[in-house]
Structure 1
């Protein structure tokens, strides 16, 4: 087989087998009947060896053609258990694949030509078997025939294709695969994974998360919708790595067994508290002014709480948004006792003289003590920025004040209603509550594993608000680590040491806000390595509401992995970055010309020309990405190298053990959380009880009662 020809053709009969048969026949004659070829026995053996070597070479060429033709129709199975996933200290395993080059585009273009259709389409027997199965479906007595033809046994010549869809030819055009890995040093540039629903994003996330956990790195997983199999996979891998003590589960849907987290309790600057709260409000159009006022008002409350020695949380902020008078009086007591102990005597005298007639109109409805303090401050040369801020808030007309904070109160109500309040506003002094309280700095120092389930299908708004607050908190922690190191303040430690922080954000468009931009733009300096998963580029634009900002987000991801997508614009995000290449087409042209000389010896002349033409085409088209099978992807890695990848299918193994409370939580997640594309199958939330059973709550603090299960990976 001529391998160096420009116009390579592998979709053809394996003509090399004729040479193999001839060489084997000649070798047989040389050994058993050398006299028939006028050879002596000794020379016959040598000649037979030569024929055998040539037959072996030609057989290898024929085998390559046959394998190529097989792979175009059906790829060999590629699967592994999670325990078989290779773990490296230098690279991240992705799957099997190859570098996509010009020859692969050339081969792919050939598969669309009519003359090669017989090698690309499924044979007639395969199509007949599928037709027969459809007809026998309604004949119970003959259904056993369908079971035989539909079995996946390799001995079945008409076995059905794997249920992955797409075109196998996209990967079958290369016979020599290799392990595709991403150097760990490249992960700090962040990775974006795009793919429509149910094409393998979660499976890819499991492969990455498994390696991060077993490598011993900080692993943080944001899962808005709540994938039960992903939670179980994290538990199993944490147990396999001996890191169960480092595993924390935060889940808004199941607060009884969830860890607790104060989204506004830790900050580098006090203004971050207001940014995390007001950042969830709409800033479009006329709402911008209300958002700015809400930010200022929350900032005033947070500064006062910190000065009074309290750690801010959503409950305290809500309490003082509803009743700012209480905080104003409390802070005034604190300030005057510290700076003017005799001020209260004057304030009490002013308060005794107040009545409905001499209270200013803008202060009507306020407590008399508030009015008295405000009047004292107006007569006294006292200046304190926090006290002045509180004073400016209470001087608003109460009715007007309630209107301008109206947009803030619904957000705080959603974050402080029911048992969620116990998660987002933990009581640090309650020793009877054994649920851990997570803090990002401690998580990073401990090199822990965190699963964050945000229950987005139950309440998208709360999930988005909590996710944004967590991202903002992480940005603040990353900024501190960048400046001072992860061990800042610890005795006898390297203050400027940094550790890799692997952040996996599934459906990250649901969580993304303004705080996500600095995280991906500057978080790499602190060790943040973000892997974000979403469906389309439009999801990002719709969430941010600004196309240039969406482009800014996408531009900060140095690695791009694209599974099957349904949006052409998303596919063009990859294809527009690739060059054009030349593909070659061989065209046979023949003709005949009659002779015009009646007396000549030639009646006509003929000629045949084999013309080779070159055409510039894109390296891959958006249509190829739309046609990818499940579990396959194109990837731009390490500065723009294009790889074609397929991920290993999961193998089930028995004997893994998890606690009954985690198993029950996963079962509830499976029954309550359905994919958005199958909304008609969702459970009736109004009729279902969302509280965990009593026995589950009792077991939530123990991992002793464990039961073997079968790994579930989809």
Structure 2
């Protein structure tokens, strides 16, 4: 008959009693075997057996003591950047263990009232904290300074300020490296955690390995512009000998930033209109205005490309505001190739007639330049089939007042993207040799395996940050689609193509960046080598951004790996817990009873009984409350098709950043002044 074995780790270490007795008995055997009526050989053999048994019992007792000590304070776990392991075929996440039914049982045991004394801080520790508060600001402040030091020699040192329930990780004594196979990473990874619980530290660990592995470009989109992330990313590139491949794009510091044209590279010309109009609202009556804006941008973009000009935000704003110069410029290019003989004389004559008509009655003037009227009349009588020309003509016919109403939502967006120094940052002049700031595009970055930090400065201007980040995502989707269709070597000279790189894209606060174009990126870009690691705070962020619960669930469903730190919403926690099975745990029930005897002739007045019953209960492997109570720097990871791991990340050891260029150090100092991160919770 099978029996149920129960662990009993939350109890006094009674193993020390039997261990002490065994060692003492061994001492007696060795010192005075005659007292036990033993021959020397029997005494020595017995002493050895008793010592071995005593040491074994001491080992068992020490395991109980270690387990109970870890419930209050885990061993310190810190690594410098150089110490972070880096494997070719695996991604290191931290130290932890595979979560099983045993750990669910142990976690449940810690919740029993009788176990509270093993979980809560000791009385002397509480007394020391109370003393520190009383001595604060007094002449005896030095005593409080001593007792508050986090040093192993301090008997009352404070517990780590990680919050949450520390027993979640302490239920296992044997930690090991938690690794994610690189073959699984192409399925993308979603990291969820509320603010200030360690997402940035996790990003640093993963980015450090991606840079050192050097098997593809590493891209970080950081809306909040964290100076620590920028510093560690650059220093990682420098340690790997890849500082020449490092690009820094920052909307908040355009003078030091690399330049980037978000609409200058495309596979299909219609992508330009989609990237810009995609930032406009499509709810209610706004949908019609968004569609008109898309059509008008597309007309301008097609004309610019036909003229051999690279579209950017500046020239699109210029011609959306006034289409007449673009029409004249296009006609000057089109007529020498398609006009009938004598077209110059005909247009000059029509221009003269238009000037006379405008002077006679200025109210009849439909255009600022009489030549525009002449060009329009001439081309209309030709009955041409040029689609670009037809689009320009249709835009030219709109009444100015009516047109301004149709593009009322588009013009403010374009003006935000072209105002001041940001305009030159997002619409670079490719022929300005005096500007030393580099210009990059995603095809170039992917081919040279570059390292790109993108700071979007969302705290200064959320709308511009979101528009630029969304455009970058759209551009990446287009680039991945081109690679997926034509291959990585498309357009390169024969013999110069390399193996397909693995594009490691890290998107911090990615709910601020995504739009509808992110859906094909997350579920179809794996074939082009894209490996997305997205960081967000909750499921509700995705729903609010996409405006549709079904779309948000579609995005979640395309992330095969899930790393969940502490979250605050139960719905977010259930994204993990609902994917886990139920397990059986043992529950001890004590049953006591007494019965009076009604038999007057019996000498037994009553009978009593006490029983311990073990019953098996089916419970969830994890509950949402366990996720919402995680300490900082710890997470549950669902990897490799549903395997649950409990992980804690290494605390950082401050690295020397004196090797950074002076301009980079000045920039990070300025970022620190403008953005104060609280990720230094370990201090």
Please report the TM-score for the alignment, with normalisation by the length of structure 1. Answer: 0.92
Counterpart contact for 1:250–1:260, Cα < 8 Å: yes
1:344-363 equivalences in 2 (<5 Å):
344-354=344-354, 355-356=357-358
Q: Deviations over 1:65-113 (max 9, x none)?
A: 1111111111111111111000100111111111111111111111111
Match of 1:685 in 2: none
Q: Deviations over 1:597-617 (max 9, x none)?
A: 222232322222111122222
Q: Deviations over 1:508-529 (max 9, x none)?
A: 1111111111111111111110
Match of 2:153 in 1: 155
Which segment is superposed worse, 220-229 or 593-602? 593-602
Q: SS in structure 2 opposite 1:498?
A: coil
Match of 1:283 in 2: 282
- Alpha-carbon distance, 1:265 to partner: 0.7
Q: Deviations over 1:650-683 (max 9, x none)?
A: 11244752111111100100111246x99xxxxx
Q: Deviations over 1:12-52 (max 9, x none)?
A: 11111112112211222232322233333233322222222
Q: Deviations over 1:147-168 (max 9, x none)?
A: 2221212222221111111111
Residue 267 (1) aligns with residue 266 (2): yes
CA distance in 1, matches of 2:657, 2:482: 43
CA distance in 1, matches of 2:655, 2:328: 64
Aligned partner (choices 537, 540, 556) of residue 538 of structure 1:
540
Cα distance change on mapping 1:573 and 1:360 into 2, 3 Å: farther
Q: Deviations over 1:157-189 (max 9, x none)?
A: 221111111111111111111111111111111
Match of 1:682 in 2: none
Counterpart contact for 2:282–2:290, Cα < 8 Å: yes
Aligned partner (choices 186, 198, 223) of residue 200 of structure 1:
198
- Alpha-carbon distance, 1:344 to partner: 2.9
Match of 1:171 in 2: 169
CA distance in 2, matches of 1:160, 1:334: 77
Residue 519 (1) aligns with residue 517 (2): no
- Alpha-carbon distance, 1:364 to partner: 1.9
CA distance in 2, matches of 1:489, 1:408: 35
Counterpart contact for 1:270–1:303, Cα < 8 Å: yes
Match of 1:188 in 2: 186
Cα distance change on mapping 1:453 and 1:473 into 2, 3 Å: same
Q: SS in structure 1 opposite 2:10?
A: coil
CA distance in 1, matches of 2:546, 2:360: 50
Which segment is superposed worse, 129-138 or 438-447? 129-138
CA distance in 2, matches of 1:379, 1:490: 45
Match of 1:406 in 2: 408
Q: Deviations over 1:343-394 (max 9, x none)?
A: 2322222222221499998972443222222222222232211111101110
Q: Deviations over 1:244-272 (max 9, x none)?
A: 10101011111111101111111001111
Query: RMSD of the alignment, in Å?
Result: 2.1
Counterpart contact for 2:222–2:453, Cα < 8 Å: yes
- Alpha-carbon distance, 1:568 to partner: 1.6
Counterpart contact for 1:363–1:394, Cα < 8 Å: no
1:208-287 equivalences in 2 (<5 Å):
208-216=206-214, 217-287=216-286
Match of 2:101 in 1: 102
Cα distance change on mapping 1:400 and 1:344 into 2, 3 Å: farther
CA distance in 1, matches of 2:191, 2:234: 23
Aligned partner (choices 620, 623, 647) of residue 621 of structure 1:
623
CA distance in 2, matches of 1:70, 1:303: 70
Which segment is superposed worse, 26-35 or 580-589? 26-35
Greater relative contact order (Cα 8 A, min sep 6): structure 1 or 2?
2
Match of 1:659 in 2: 661
Counterpart contact for 2:367–2:373, Cα < 8 Å: no
- Alpha-carbon distance, 1:411 to partner: 1.0
CA distance in 1, matches of 2:358, 2:35: 131
CA distance in 2, matches of 1:159, 1:193: 33
Q: SS in structure 2 opposite 1:256?
A: coil
CA distance in 2, matches of 1:481, 1:656: 39
1:357-396 equivalences in 2 (<5 Å):
364-396=366-398
Counterpart contact for 1:485–1:495, Cα < 8 Å: no
Residue 579 (1) aligns with residue 581 (2): yes
Match of 1:687 in 2: none
CA distance in 1, matches of 2:31, 2:87: 55
- Alpha-carbon distance, 1:212 to partner: 0.5
Q: SS in structure 2 opposite 1:529?
A: strand
Q: Deviations over 1:385-443 (max 9, x none)?
A: 11111011101112211221221111111111111111111111111111110111110
Aligned partner (choices 442, 452, 455) of residue 453 of structure 1:
455
1:7-18 equivalences in 2 (<5 Å):
7-18=6-17
Aligned partner (choices 596, 599, 619) of residue 598 of structure 2:
596
CA distance in 1, matches of 2:189, 2:441: 25
Match of 2:76 in 1: 77
Match of 1:117 in 2: 116
CA distance in 2, matches of 1:459, 1:237: 29
Q: Deviations over 1:115-168 (max 9, x none)?
A: 111111112111111111111114x21112212221212222221111111111
CA distance in 1, matches of 2:4, 2:434: 77
Counterpart contact for 2:636–2:644, Cα < 8 Å: yes
Q: SS in structure 2 opposite 1:470?
A: helix
- Alpha-carbon distance, 1:713 to partner: 9.6
Cα distance change on mapping 1:263 and 1:712 into 2, 3 Å: farther
Residue 25 (1) aligns with residue 19 (2): no
CA distance in 1, matches of 2:193, 2:364: 57
1:291-302 equivalences in 2 (<5 Å):
291-302=290-301
Which segment is superposed worse, 341-350 or 526-535? 341-350
Counterpart contact for 2:26–2:47, Cα < 8 Å: yes
Q: Deviations over 1:280-337 (max 9, x none)?
A: 1111111111111111111111111111111111111111111111111111111110
- Alpha-carbon distance, 1:561 to partner: 0.7
CA distance in 2, matches of 1:666, 1:655: 11
Cα distance change on mapping 1:12 and 1:656 into 2, 3 Å: farther
Which segment is superposed worse, 484-493 or 432-441? 484-493
Counterpart contact for 1:79–1:650, Cα < 8 Å: yes
Which segment is superposed worse, 365-374 or 171-180? 365-374
CA distance in 2, matches of 1:361, 1:635: 71
Please report the TM-score for the alignment, with normalisation by the length of structure 2. Answer: 0.96
Counterpart contact for 2:591–2:611, Cα < 8 Å: yes
CA distance in 1, matches of 2:407, 2:364: 17
Q: SS in structure 1 opposite 2:139?
A: helix
Q: SS in structure 1 opposite 2:291?
A: helix
